Each structure stands twice: as C-alpha cells, then as structure tokens.
C-alpha cells in the first residue's frame, strides 16, 4: 500500500526535504503530494516525478485543505508558523500525524491531550534551530548523565551566514533565510539568561553591544548575541540546576557593532509606518532619522549622530550599502522603518546564483564527573551547494524529512505534541544526518565556566 505524505508549502527550505522524499519514494513506497499557493514556482522535474503530485492549495480554503489532509497518512507543514494551527486541527479531526520545523505555539500545545488520545505524533521544532540544536544537545547531555555527570553549564549558538568563498562584503553577511527575521531580531522582549548562577537581562537597545566570542577551527572567529529567552530550555532539557544557560545567534566579528548603528538610528523599528515611503530615495529614508540642519549634509549629520569618523570601518560599511543614493528608491507603500531597511539590504545581501551559504552551530557543555569539572565544546559547519540547495535548506529540511519517515515506519511512536528531545527521536535522526555530512566535532577542553573576558561591554 502506498504511504501518502502531504507537504504543505514549498518555499526556500524545502529543496532537500522534497528531494529526500522523492529519492525514497520507490524503496519506501511513498506517494508525495505538494500543496502550494504558487505551484508554478516548483521545478518541472518535481512536477513530472511519477510518485509526486503538485497541487494548487490555499490553506484558507477549508474544504480544499481538509480534503488534502484527509487523503494523507502524515502531514508535513512548512507553512509560516502562524498557519500551522489550522492544519493541526485537521490532523486531529482526521487522525493524521503532523511534522513541523516551527516553535510549538500555545495553540498547538492545547492539542496535546487530543493527539495522545488518538496516538498521534505531533513533532515540532525539528529543523535547524530549533531542531538540530535540540537533538545534538540532548545527545551529549544524556551521555554525560548516563556516566553520572552533573550538568553545570550549557551554551548554544547558531548562525546562518555566507560561505567563506562567497563572502565579499564588509559586513561578512548575506541573507540566507527570511530577511525580515534578521531585521527585527531581538525585538519584542528583553534577552534573559543565567551566567554563573546570576540572572542576566539585556534590553533591545543594548543587545548588539553585548557579544560573546567563539572560534571554530578552520573557519576563524565569530561573535554571538543573546537570544530572547534562554531560560525556557531549563525545563525542556532538564537543566533546572545549571549555573549557566545561554543561547545566542552567531555572526562574523564586527557585525553586531555595525548593526547597532541601525538600532540606534531607529531604522529597525517595526511599530509605525512611513506614509510617503513609496518612491522615497534611500538618502531621504536615512535623513528621516537624523536631526534637521540647514547646512550639514546627510552624511555629515549621520557621522556626527553616530560619532564615527570618515575613515572608520563602520562608515565604510554604510557606504557599501548605497544608503546615501538619491536615485534608488523604496518601492513599498506605508513601509515601517524595518521594512524600508529590509528592502535596501536585500539589494546588497541577496545570494547570487553561484554563491553559497554556511550554517554554523556551537555548543558548550560544562559538567562535573567524579568531583572533577570538565567541558565539551562541539561545533558543526555545513556549506551550501547552490542558491536553491542551501545549507539552510539542508539543515532545516532533512531533519523534517527523516523524522517524517521515522514516524511512518513506526520507529518514533511516543504520541502527543512534542519536540525532538527523546533518544527515540534524536538517535536515528542524528545518525542519518551524519550520512549527509551534518555532524559535530567534539573537543574535551578545560572547564572555564563563564568567561567575562569573552563578552563585550
């Protein structure tokens, strides 16, 4: 009997996921249906595959969505996170397993009892971050505990960056994921974490001035700024008693200091709209955030405001983005400052056809075993292949695909709304990811605890 997989959404993160299903379709007896709002954007080779059916699907058309879910054995939702709930409710109604790469929402959490009652696996957070971070962390943490060790410290950092061979700008950065998430990163709350038993809080206006530095052998030095809420992972990972728990986003050294210029200017604000934004030149856009002067140029006003010299690398980074161009213009109507900035950045930071991206992940595990404090550092680096088969698509899509097949094959059976922290889940997925070159290098290093010298003031 054919086992039917419904994939909802065929965006940038699905290239490897779809390839995986199609490659396995004969040996695993799979029939794949891909439902997307714009099926014409999906490659001809996928349309023409004998075991694949591509359909136009608007998930807001209830009858069409429910019909597609009802016909499947398992549903993979690669839709924006806010749309998962409609699909999840259908999966409960028609008794279908569900897999997503998104954070578990409060709405989906409420379906836990219903999923368990119907013995359905609702696997969430099974992409990169969240996803590979959960699984790789729990693999080491469980190993330490099995030896009788006591966890003292856990730090975890992830970054989607441009590959070294495609790194050709002063920011050492290009968009490899949703640009909007980059522009508004860190907003909407204060970053919270624990270091050496003390709670720490970083408000948004200080976030990019507080960075930790990391080295990855063969790839050089990186920096990381704190994610919004590291404390949630205490319960998820069973780390209620650790002295340090810190999660962050990785960039190349110098990015955060430069990005902070936009924060201080107010260009990342997403809370109001600029009524006459459409047609506004980049130069006019920048001038919105600067004081009036009858004599000073926009360039001079900005340098004075940010206290940077003309020979400062920060000034070079701004010039590189063509911010003072009076010919190029914002195309969006009623854009927020963040949307205007995003449009400008996309013109400079979009990967070209022959360029590659890079994923980096770095974990630190501090623990005590037999009265001795020890530390394991682990890192993962994945380089993309093409603009479509990116490292981001690989590390997000493959864990989703592998988990889906594991559920279909009844290797993952624990029911309910969950994330991949059980050995039943992470062990086989990590093992298979290793065959795709997605793996961690581990190093036993002296236990350092929290190193204040690694954090910029």
Query: Which residue's entry shows tokens 């040996």?
Result: 27
* Structure confidence at residue 450 (pLDDT): 57
Contact in structure between 260 and 251 (CB atoms under 8 Å): no
Contact in structure between 438 and 380 (CB atoms under 8 Å): yes
Query: Which run of H or of E encompasses 88?
Result: helix 84-94
CA torsion, points 98, 99, 101, 107, in degrees to nearest 10? 20
Q: For residue 333, what is the DSSP state?
A: T
Question: Is 249 exposed, middle or buried (CB count within 10 Å of its CB: 0-12, 13-18, 19+)?
Answer: buried
CA angle 271, 273, 279 (to 5 degrees): 145
Looking at 1.10.150.20, 1.10.1870.10, 1.10.238.10, 3.40.50.300, the CATH number of the domain 260-349 comes to 1.10.1870.10
Tens-digit pLDDT string for the chain (457 aa): 899 999 999 988 899 999 999 999 999 999 999 999 999 989 999 999 999 999 999 999 999 999 999 999 999 999 988 999 999 999 999 999 999 999 999 999 999 999 999 999 999 999 999 999 999 999 999 999 999 999 999 999 999 999 999 999 999 999 988 899 999 999 978 999 999 999 999 999 999 999 999 999 999 999 999 998 889 889 989 999 999 999 999 999 999 999 999 999 999 999 999 999 999 999 999 999 999 999 999 999 999 999 999 999 999 999 999 999 999 999 999 999 999 999 999 999 999 989 999 999 999 999 999 999 999 999 999 999 988 899 999 999 999 999 999 999 999 999 999 999 999 999 999 999 999 999 999 999 998 775 544 544 3
- As separate numbers, helices (DSSP H) first and strands (DSSP E) second, the chain gives 17, 16
Identify the architecture of domain 132-254+353-390+439-454 in CATH.
2-Layer Sandwich (3.30)
* CA–CA dist 406, 391 (Å, integer): 22
For the entire predicted model, the pTM comes to 0.92
* CA–CA dist 27, 262 (Å, integer): 52
* CA–CA dist 359, 222 (Å, integer): 12
Identify the architecture of domain 3-124 in CATH.
3-Layer(aba) Sandwich (3.40)
Residue ranges matching CATH 3.40.50.720 in the chain? 3-124
């Amino acid at each position: 009997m054919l086992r039917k997989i419904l994939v909802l959404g065929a965006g940038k993160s699905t290239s490897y996921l779809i390839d995986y299903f199609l490659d396995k379709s004969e040996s695993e007896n799979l029939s794949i249906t891909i439902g997307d709002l714009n099926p014409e954007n999906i490659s001809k080779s996928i349309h023409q595959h004998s075991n694949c059916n591509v359909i136009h699907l608007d998930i807001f058309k209830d009858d069409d969505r429910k019909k597609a879910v009802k016909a499947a054995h398992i549903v993979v939702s690669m839709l924006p996170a806010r749309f998962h709930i409609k699909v999840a409710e259908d999966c409960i109604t028609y008794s279908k397993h569900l897999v997503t790469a998104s954070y578990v929402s409060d709405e989906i959490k409420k379906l836990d009892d219903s999923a368990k009652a119907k013995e359905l696996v609702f696997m969430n957070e099974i992409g990169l971050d969240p996803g590979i971070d959960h699984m790789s962390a729990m693999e080491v943490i469980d190993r330490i505990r099995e030896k009788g060790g006591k966890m003292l410290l856990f730090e975890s950092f992830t970054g989607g960056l441009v590959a070294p061979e495609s790194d050709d700008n002063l920011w050492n950065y290009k968009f490899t994921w949703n640009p909007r998430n980059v522009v508004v990163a860190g907003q909407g709350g204060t970053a919270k974490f624990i270091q050496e038993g003390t709670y720490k809080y970083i408000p948004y206006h200080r976030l990019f001035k507080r960075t930790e530095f990391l080295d990855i052998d063969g790839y050089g030095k990186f920096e990381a700024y704190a994610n919004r809420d590291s404390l949630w992972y205490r319960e998820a990972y069973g780390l209620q008693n650790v002295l340090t728990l810190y999660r962050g986003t990785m960039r190349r050294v110098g990015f955060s200091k430069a990005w902070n210029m936009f924060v201080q200017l107010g260009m990342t604000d997403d809370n109001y709209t600029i009524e006459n934004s459409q047609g506004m030149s980049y130069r006019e856009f920048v001038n919105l955030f600067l004081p009036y002067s009858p004599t000073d140029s926009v360039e001079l006003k900005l340098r004075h405001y940010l206290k940077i010299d003309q020979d400062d690398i920060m000034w070079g980074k701004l010039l590189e983005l063509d911010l003072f161009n009076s010919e190029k213009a914002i195309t969006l109507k009623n854009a927020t400052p963040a949307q205007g900035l995003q449009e400008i950045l996309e013109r400079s930071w979009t990967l070209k056809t022959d360029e590659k991206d890079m994923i980096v992940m770095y974990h630190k595990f501090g623990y005590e075993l037999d009265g001795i404090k020890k530390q394991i550092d682990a890192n993962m680096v994945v380089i993309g292949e093409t603009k479509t088969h990116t490292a981001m698509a690989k590390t997000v899509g493959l864990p989703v695909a592998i988990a889906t097949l594991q559920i279909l094959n009844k290797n993952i059976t624990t029911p309910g709304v969950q994330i991949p922290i059980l050995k039943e889940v992470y062990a086989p997925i990590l093992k298979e990811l290793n065959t795709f070159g997605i793996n961690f290098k581990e190093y036993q290093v002296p236990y350092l605890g929290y190193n204040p010298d690694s954090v910029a003031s």
